[in-house]
Amino acid sequence: MKIPLFRLLFFGLILTLSSCVTVYQLSPAKNNFNYKNDIEYEVYGMSSASQQATGNSRIVAKKGYTFVSVKTKVTNKTNETIDIDFSEVSLLDLVNKVKYPVSFVYQATVVSIPAKNKTTLGPQKSLKRILLISYPDKMKPELLEINGERYEIQFSK
């Protein structure tokens, strides 16, 4: 039995659209977190989706979870090179304080290019990374933790 091409394309379109993306509206200029006084983490974008492209493949979140993409900019305001470990960053649920660690780190580019969890940052330099975190899909990510220090993410009203 042959399936018409139109039906096949329609079915493919339905599968593609079932992966909705939620974009969180962040409060401008209120998501800059001073970590250790001279290191600034800025969250400049957040979204969630049930699946994520990873260069030449695609990963799908476990049932009941979504992937939250946290777009960050880290600025070294010191005069020394510092070590940064993105595996020390996690999202917490506001009620139970359960930690959801970073699953993947990507360069902040149009195409998903993997990056290492650990890197160095020169004096007076910045770098942008996208942190992918598996998070419960019915909850809004409101707390960010960096090496044990917690910061509340501010959203637009």
Within-domain flag for 20: no
Interacting residues of 82 by C-beta distance below 8 A, sequence separation 6+: 39, 76, 120, 121
Interacting residues of 110 by C-beta distance below 8 A, sequence separation 6+: none
Within-domain flag for 41: yes
| Residue numbers in the chain where pLDDT is lower than 70 | 1-19, 55
Domains held by the chain: number: 1
Within-domain flag for 135: yes
Within-domain flag for 121: yes
**Tokens found for residue 138:** 């019915």
Per residue in 45-68, pLDDT (tens digit) is: 999 999 887 767 788 899 999 999
In this structure, is the dihedral angle defined by the CA atoms of residues 63, 54, 116 and 41, taken in order, positive or negative? negative
Within-domain flag for 108: yes
Rounded Cα–Cα distance for residues 42 and 61 (Å): 25
Within-domain flag for 26: no
Give this prediction's pTM: 0.82
pLDDT of residue 67: 94
Provide the domain limits for residue 68: 32-152
pLDDT of residue 14: 47
In this structure, is the dihedral angle defined by the CA atoms of residues 10, 22, 104 and 139, taken in order, positive or negative? negative
CATH number for 111: 2.60.40.1240
Within-domain flag for 144: yes
Within-domain flag for 148: yes
